[in-house]
Amino acid sequence: MAKSFEYSEEITYALERVHATVTDPAFWQHRFEKSPEKLTLDASRGPGTLTVIMRDSIGASSLPAIVSKVVTGELKVERIDEWGALDGGRADGRIGGSSTGIPVLIQSTSVLRPLGDGGTVLEVAGSVEVKVPVVGGQIETVIKKMVGDMFGQDRTAIEKWLGDS
């Protein structure tokens, strides 16, 4: 059974600047400058939008113990972020993930909206499902935590990018 999650990250910069960052190919290229082959960018949905596809391979020895018990060899993971244009003082998106080697599906909706203090909040709600008998629920718990950590890393990267610009 899938595990639900909700995460919220506050960003100290205005909505327009945060949205411009997450839809800026240069931001994502900078984040993946050491391995650009892992990144695909698509802005074909129109101005102020971006789809970001990130692919990576993780060796079994780098995985949490509960996961490495059911994975042999490399785990290939994919994350897809889709951001829409600013509309009515917010930007909606979707963030998903999957892998080979273990049947994982992460689906979520995301929103960027302004805070009263001039900052922005990133809100994400979704679920993670792992279809592995007996230990699937335990793996979902591990992945759910990893997803939360990922959004914290995204917030940090956005703030660093905007602080350096």
User: For 148, phi and psi rounded to 5 degrees?
Assistant: -60, -45
**Which CATH number belongs to the domain containing residue 104 in this structure?**
3.30.530.20
Domain that holds residue 86: 3-164
Give me 63's structure tokens.
Answer: 């995985």
Query: How confident is the model at residue 133, as a pLDDT?
Result: 86
- pLDDT tens for each residue of 77-119: 999 999 999 999 999 999 999 998 889 999 999 999 999 999 9
Query: How confident is the model at residue 52, as a pLDDT?
Result: 97
User: For 14, phi and psi rounded to 5 degrees?
Assistant: -65, 150
List b or e across 96-135, with b for residues whose CB sees 16 or more CB atoms inside 10 angstroms.
bbebebbebebebebebeeeeeeebbbbbebbbbbebeee
User: What's the CA gap between 156 and 5, in Å, rounded?
Assistant: 20
Residues of the chain with pLDDT under 50: none
Query: How confident is the model at residue 134, as a pLDDT?
Result: 86
| Residues in CB range of 107: below 8 A, 6 or more apart | 94, 96, 126, 127
What is the count of structural domains for the chain?
A: 1
Give me 135's structure tokens.
Answer: 């230990």
User: What's the CA gap between 155 and 138, in Å, rounded?
Assistant: 27
